[in-house]
Structure 1
């Protein structure tokens, strides 16, 4: 009798899990059905393709790692065509959470605009529109750019944003960043040390133990023409945070007094811990600035 009860529970859990996965995939399918069949003379392709982490490499060869590192769930790929013109490509990524959708968007942005909506962060440049809303990251590409294509891309973007009813929430870790002199569009959010190195190279090894169980944000600051950086990493527990700080000091700042050191280029780097949070200041112009920024961590 007990075995039968356990079997029922297992089957129920498997069924529930399957329904959850299907629901997320279906939501993209439903979104595709609500895309306009025609817009400014561009016709929606009859073929709609859904991708998962298992086959994303078939669609984005060499770039799938980025999305997978942010716990990517599903991708809807949709084309729009017009006679004798290159197609417009619409990609809608279900990233599983609002935080990860923001993370993917933040990875490569160079500017911020609100061309989609006042309450939606987006970036448009040279025929490419990207934005995030709720758990979705959206990319619409029309290359080469023309005024007609730009109008169509923006109209499609606004339509898709209107179909997404979820609220957009940024990681709370961002609120811990010092705000004075910050370049807002430079804020990056990630769970993999490779993406840290793509913005500021630390080491070819994961000396800060950044992984899927951690949250990390990196921001650039500009003051009197000087650029410096602040990195915050939140760990699942204090023990892992302490281990990460020790590793960073050993490998990046050996012999640093009180966790602050002037490097060979004359710039200053420092590291401090507060509970589960590790803060690193990089490329500070002087020791006073490094100490001031590190002091923000304990406020």
Structure 2
């Protein structure tokens, strides 16, 4: 039991030396001169056979089941592919409306078996990387992993999820404490990640999200109101006011200081707009929105700091919401227990530097 529990640790470096580490096994076989020749997982147009050229692009991303790595594993059935307009092959699991918003193009599902061990591989392909990144942030399971797969990855005893380029990958088993299946999951995640040659950084607004005091795993990135209303919980914000069609998406995360009293967690929403004017218009819409709410809630207090472009709302005792806009960025912090901590979270954002034109500047035409 001890070795099994060690195997399922998300920190692979802590695995007992007597336990097989599939990630290390993969690397050792690749590097070993005495190892059997392993079929190169990266498929190039020149290396494809006539049969492979007829295969769907997602099939070419799957692991090749080299016997040196995948002993006795096989595919009992051909992969099934769902594409837009083919609802009979729908693996969306109730997320069809969300996937439409994220511009999902197709899903591949391939099942692998070894005796009574079963693993499912699902590959989701989106129109662009923003949809795939959003899908990863709202749909992944497990904790952040040190496995070198994808650009963002998570892992649990039963799965590995990761994002890379236009793809969100879900490799999982439904069995409990299945070390054989978990070894396959890790090996397959490395193969698929290598087959995905694309490199892509996260959306800019995700990079601008402050890292200090952020609670890892709470990040969620959305492109539209369907995603926001489903996954941005714990608030009464009208997400239609964000005018996301003029933005590069919206991202949220929770923040908590180590010495925070009562383990206060502040939620931060950050949106980046195409223009400064768009951000200003959205800020004005939210200001009007909260002012209307105040008419129905006599306990609500609103303070607008015009110099700092910050709107401070006291919803009730020890419950604040703060909005700030500068340049093309707009941020909303809520679930704030005291104004000081709210200001500290907003101060972490890398706000654009705005240089004001001197009032007494004389132009060439005025000379």
Q: TM-score range by the shorter chain?
A: 0.7 to 0.9
Aligned positions, number: 273
Q: Is the CA contact 2:149–2:190 (under 8 Å) kept in the aligned structure 1?
A: no
Q: 2:242 — aligned with what?
A: 209
Partner of 2:64: 35
**For residue 89 of structure 1, what is the aligned residue in structure 2?**
120
Which residue of the other structure, out of 101, 104, 107, is the alignment partner of 1:69?
101
Q: Which has the higher strand share?
A: 1
TM-score (norm 1): 0.79
- Corresponding position: 1:245 with 2:291: no
Q: Structure 1 residue 70: deviation in Å?
A: 1.7
Task: Determine the C-alpha separation between the residues in 2 that align with 1:64 and 1:86.
Answer: 29
Note the 1:151-162 alignment, pairs <5 A: 151-162=183-194
Q: Give the equivalent residue in structure 2 for 1:180.
A: 212
| Contact persistence 2:150–2:164 (CA under 8 A) | no
CA shift, 1:288, in A, is: 2.1
Matches within 5 A, 1:120-131: 120-131=151-162
- Indicate the SS of the match to 2:197: coil
Question: Are residues 1:257 and 2:303 paired?
Answer: yes
Separation in 1, partners of 2:318, 2:352? 26
Q: CA RMSD in A?
A: 2.8
Looking at structure 2, the residues matched to 237 and 202 of structure 1 have their Cα atoms a distance apart, in angstroms, of: 26
Q: Which of residues 86, 98, 102 is equivalent to 1:55?
A: 86
Which segments of 5 or more consecutive residues in structure 2 lack a partner in the other structure? Answer: 1-52, 295-301, 305-310, 354-367
Cα distance in structure 2, aligned partners of 1:174 and 1:204: 20
Gaps of 5+ in 1: 1-22
1:90-134 alpha-carbon deviations (Å, 9 max, x no partner): 11111233333222111144521123x166432122412211122
- Any idea what SS the aligned residue of 1:288 has? helix
Provide closer, same or farther for how the CA distance between residues 208 and 126 of structure 1 changes in structure 2, counting only shifts above 3 A. farther
